[in-house]
Every structure is written in structure tokens, then in C-alpha cells.
Amino acid sequence: MFIFASKQIKMQHIIDRFISYVTIDTESDHKSESTPSTAKQWDLANKLVEELKAIGMQDVTIDEKSYIMATLPSNVTQEVPVIGFISHFDTSPDFTGANVKPQIVSNYDGKDIVLNAEKNIVLSPSYFKDLLLYKGQTLITTDGTTLLGADDKAGITEIVTAMEFLINNPEIKHGKIRVGFTPDEEIGRGAHHFDVEKFGADWAYTMDGSQIGELEYENFNAAGAKITFKGKSVHPGYAKGKMINSMLIANAFINELPAGETPEETKGYEGFFHVHHLTGSIEETVLELIIRDHNKKKFEKRKELIEKITRKINKKFAKQFGEDIVITEIKDQYYNMKEKVLPVKHIVDIAEKAMKEIGIKPLIKPIRGGTDGSQLSYKGLPCPNIFAGGHNFHGKYEYVPVESMQKAVEVIVKIAQLTATEDSSKK
């Protein structure tokens, strides 16, 4: 049932495995405080444990928070760095992941794909131009009513399939490989309870990027600010010199932020302030924003600016209000992994070389967000991110080309091989 045609990883095998994962609902939930945030994530977690054992992985463990780890022992005698591959089994709460009905589009003709005729939902290359990269390939799409869950069940499919391939082809040399599957990545908690020490790898890769070729080791430095504005409500007819409208102060605060430095007006390495929540009345307004910048110095400057505007407005109202009218709380969220990866840059170079050796053009670019890898890097496990192949994550237009998943499997196998054969003194 598991046959390799000239060492090619069989497409149908990948499709079957992927579908067996995405048809299990594992949507995570921001509002929950438990780990995993939703009990249904156990459904897939438990299945993965059984599957890892079935393909012959060793030391397969699952802890009380559903974190899964497993080992593929080294098959070489010399000492080789221990590497890891990581992905997450939850799906985004942004769109429903219940009753996913994957559709297979073979030999994609480059035209519109009708996801749902009844609801007139069409996946069109005129809007999603990336589709044209995959003409002639096999795509897996949704039926237009759910997300697909390629983020990140494509990554899990690829890791399991690569481990199985290495087990079935022992002539391919590799060191000890650790596998880690986590819950709750989509709600920013995937790395929170990840036991880096227990994992015991020198470095790892998250298989959680998008387009084939993506290789990422830079992400934003991130902070969130909650800014509370106080006010004084007075009858509008008698308000002169007395009323303080907190909503208008919040408005003045927003106007002090640099124009054009918003998500919708920036790209590449440009940072931003993003006002994402604003609720208010005369007596109190709460403004929430996030601060993002790849550059650590600029990131600190941005946080200082928030404090500076706060002080300026507080000073202006000091007499009239008697106490601080603006209260600002800034919390750092995560940092650019580049700082932790650059000292061990060869871990990126190996991934890049692996891609080139199997004919993939590496696309190295900064992430405009964070990954679990950034948190793991700061916990002591340097962890760049590699493509898993999917597109249009977190919604009904999500799709994944099976050929990209096949290539990701090959990348994992190649990285394992290169790590065991390259000069490991660079470790």
C-alpha cells in the first residue's frame, strides 16, 4: 500500500493522510483559558500519537496539555546535531473548521474553481493570482463553507510522511530527529507550554509557512498597548470649560501617531502602529493598538512614542483633571527571532541548500507577524520557518497544491541528510 516510485513520495498517500487530518475539527478558542483551548483538539492529537507509533517512531509522548513529541533515532555512528520539525494541529478561530469537505482539483487548468455552486463561491486566479503558479498541479480546496486547515495540517502531513519515508529508506543517513506537534498556535499560545529541554534538539524548523520555497528567520518585534482615557460628563448645555470628552482625547491621541505607518500602508521591513480596538463613552474610552517593527531600536522608539504622547496629553490636562487623564499599559508580545538565529545562521543555510538541491527556489523574506518559532527561539530553540505549501489561510479560499506538500517532504528529508553529512563542527 505504501510504494515509492523512484523515491518519489506518493501523491495519493499524502492526499489520504492530509484529508484524514483536516476532516477532524480542531479549531482553537481565544476565550478559553485551558490547554488545549478546545477539547476537540485531543481528537487529532490522540490519532497523531497512534500514527507516529504505527510508522515506527520512538519515544512517542503526549503530555497533559496535548503537546506531542517523538523521536527518529540516528542511523549514523558519528555525532550529529539533533534537529527538530514542528507544526501545530489547531486551526484558526477566524473561520469554522467543522465538517471540512476537501475537494481535489486534478491537473488544474488555470481557470476559476467553483468551490460551491449553490452559494456561488468561486476561487478565481483573477483575484488570487498565486493560483497560476500551480497550473497542471493537483489542488486541494474547501467546499466554500469552511477553512481547509492546511495551516497547519499540511505541515503535520509533511513531517509524518518524511519520518515514514526515512524509516522505510534506512540507506538515507540522518542524525537523531525530534518531532513536535502543538495545540493552540493560532491563538498565540503554541509555544507557551512547549518543553524545549525535553525536546532536546539543537535547533528546529516549524513547517508552517505558505508558498513553496518560503524560508523565514526574521519576524516582527511585537507589543500591545492598552490606553485608557478618562473624562468628565456634564450636561452639554452647561458643559463649557467643564466637560472632558474621553473619546475626543482618544481621537487626539490617534492623530499624534505618524501618518501612513499603519498595516494597510506598509510592507517589507516597514513597521507600524495598528489601532485595532476602540470603545468609549464620555467618561471613559479604551484604545487598544499593536506595535510592530523588525528593527529592535525602531521598535523601542515606537513604544517610547506612545509614552511620549501619553505624557504630553497628561500634561495638557493636569490642571483641569487633577490626575493622569491617560493611563497607558504596554506589554511586549514577542521578538524578532533573527537575533537568536543569526549566531547559528548555518541552520538557515542548510534549509536553503536543501531546497536548492531538490530544485526549489528559496524565497527568503521577513515575516510580517510572528511564528511559534520566534517564541521557541527565545526559549533556547532556534527555529526558522519553512513553507508548508498552503495559501489563503484562515478562510474559505484556503487551498494547498499537493506537489508543494511533496516538495516539503523532500525538503525535510534533505535537511536531515545534509545535517548528518555536512561538517557538523559548525554546530
User: Where in the sequence numbering do the catalytic residues fall?
Assistant: 90, 185
394 in a labelled binding site: yes
88 in a labelled binding site: yes
Smallest gap, in angstroms, from Cβ of residue 208 to Zn ion? 4
- Footprint of Zn ion on 190-249 (CB under 5 A): 208
Q: Looking at 123-131, 145-153, 162-170, 284-292, which segment touches Zn ion (CB under 5 A)?
A: 145-153
- Footprint of Zn ion on 301-330 (CB under 5 A): none
Q: Which of 51, 143, 151, 218 binds Zn ion (CB under 5 A)?
A: 151
Distance CA 227, CA 427 (A): 45
Only one residue has cell 463561491, namely 121
Distance CA 128, CA 121 (A): 13
Residue number, 208 or 214, with CB nearest to Zn ion = 208
Contact between 25 and Zn ion per CB under 5 A: no
* Phi, psi for residue 384 in degrees, rounded to 5: -65, 170
DSSP string, 259-305: TT-SGGG--TT--EEEEEEEEE-SSEEEEEEEEEESSHHHHHHHHHH
* Phi, psi for residue 184 in degrees, rounded to 5: 60, 25
Smallest gap, in angstroms, from Cβ of residue 214 to Zn ion? 12
Smallest gap, in angstroms, from Cβ of residue 329 to Zn ion? 28
Size of the site for Zn ion (CB under 5 A): 3
Q: Which of 25, 51, 90, 152 binds Zn ion (CB under 5 A)?
A: 152
Only one residue has cell 481535489, namely 104
* Phi, psi for residue 58 in degrees, rounded to 5: -105, 165
Residue number, 35 or 385, with CB nearest to Zn ion = 385
59 in a labelled binding site: no
208 in a labelled binding site: yes
Residue number, 51 or 151, with CB nearest to Zn ion = 151
Task: Report which residue's Cβ sits closest to Zn ion.
Answer: 152
151 in a labelled binding site: yes
Smallest gap, in angstroms, from Cβ of residue 249 to Zn ion? 39
User: Are the beta carbons of 162 and 136 closer than 8 angstroms?
Assistant: no
Sign of CA dihedral 40, 41, 47, 50: negative
- For residue 91, count CB atoms less than 10 angstroms from its CB and return exposed for 0-12, middle for 13-18, buried for 19 or more: buried
Residue number, 213 or 389, with CB nearest to Zn ion = 389
Q: Where are the beta strands (DSSP E) in 294-413?
A: 326-334, 363-364, 385-387, 400-401
Smallest gap, in angstroms, from Cβ of residue 293 to Zn ion? 22
Residue number, 25 or 152, with CB nearest to Zn ion = 152
Smallest gap, in angstroms, from Cβ of residue 143 to Zn ion? 21
H helices of 23-85, in order, are 41-54
C-alpha cell at 420: 548528518
- For residue 32, count CB atoms less than 10 angstroms from its CB and return exposed for 0-12, middle for 13-18, buried for 19 or more: middle
Quick count: other Cβ atoms within 10 Å of Cβ 115? 21
Count of CA atoms in the C-beta half-sphere (13 A) of 240: 1
Residue number, 152 or 261, with CB nearest to Zn ion = 152
Binding-site residue numbers for Zn(2+) are 88, 151, 186, 208, 394
Which residues contact Zn ion by CB under 5 A?
Answer: 151-152, 208
Binding-site residue numbers are 88, 151, 186, 208, 394
